[in-house]
Structure 1
């Protein structure tokens, strides 16, 4: 199994070798070509995925256009967790921004893992808690921080993001127009050169 996948599982819970093997056996590999969709609005999210390599974008389309909510990179989990848990159609999209390899954990397989033991249930709880905290922090940042500060937080978390994701997608994540993001980037570059 790939190192990124093993790390994504073991970063949350310290599984012993036999427990880890049981978990990894439930994961199914899938390749998604650049610009193809893992999930479309109106579909039920059938699996949470670990990204082995590549980038996924989680977004919605409203009357105002696209709004990116999340980007996920190598070794990270992604899925529409609400749709996954409730088995109801999603209102979101998940799209590959590069050729991407993921490992999928289906709803049924997650339930089977939960029935095996407490460590698997703990894993599910911690994954949900981390998602809840991340989404809450992202929403709070959108309301309370300037676009420049949100951009700085994003590039501090993902230093190579501008090499892997189009500026227009980053702008929709920040809640601004691409032209505004270009101005922010130019101002930051000037400040760096002056400092």
Structure 2
């Protein structure tokens, strides 16, 4: 298993070698091609995934069009956590932004890990808290920050994002049209000169 996955697991909780092996045995490797969906609306999210290599986009489609809610890259977890926990159909999509290698943790395997001890439960709690904070921050930013401020925050978090994903996906994350994003980028570049 790649270092990205091991680092992501041990970054949150100091698992000992035996615990780490127990965790890794439950992760199922999967390769996903660029533009392939690992979750579609109406499906139940059966696994939370950790990205070893590549990137994923979490989005919905409304009457206004696509709205990207989150991007995840190496060492990050992603899934529709509400659907995963409630076992109810998702209203969202998760799509590979590039050829991606993921490791999947099923609901049953997660529950089994929780039964093995406090460190596994702590890991689950920390992941849930991280997702909760990320969603809250994203909602706050969308409601309170300008598109330019949201763009600057995004490229600060993911400096190479524009080299990895299409500009229209960044625009849907910011809640603007690609032309508006181009104008924002020109304005920022003009100020740096």
Give the TM-score normalised by the residue count of structure 1: 0.98
Residue 16 of structure 1 corresponds to 16
The Cα shift of 1:142 comes to 0.6
- Paired residue total: 193
1:154-179, CA deviations, whole angstroms, 9 ceiling, x for partnerless residues?
A: 00110000000111000000011111
Q: What does residue range 100-179 of structure 1 map to in structure 2 within 5 Å?
A: 100-179=100-179
Residue 56 of structure 1 corresponds to 56
Q: What does residue range 59-74 of structure 1 map to in structure 2 within 5 Å?
A: 59-74=59-74
Cα distance in 1, alignment partners of residues 156 and 61 from structure 2: 27
Provide runs of 4+ in structure 1 moved above 3 Å: none
Residue 97 of structure 1 corresponds to 97
Cα distance in 2, alignment partners of residues 25 and 7 from structure 1: 16
1:31 aligns to what SS in structure 2? strand
1:116 aligns to what SS in structure 2? coil
Residue 188 of structure 1 corresponds to 188
The Cα shift of 1:11 comes to 1.2
1:88-137, CA deviations, whole angstroms, 9 ceiling, x for partnerless residues?
A: 00000000010000000000000000011111011101100010001100
Cα distance in 1, alignment partners of residues 79 and 154 from structure 2: 20
Q: CA RMSD in A?
A: 0.5
Residue 5 of structure 2 corresponds to 5
The Cα shift of 1:8 comes to 1.3
2:12 aligns to what SS in structure 1? coil
1:51-87, CA deviations, whole angstroms, 9 ceiling, x for partnerless residues?
A: 0000100000011100000000011000000000000
Cα distance in 2, alignment partners of residues 89 and 7 from structure 1: 31
The Cα shift of 1:153 comes to 0.5
**Structure 2 unmatched runs, 5+:** none
**Structure 1 unmatched runs, 5+:** none
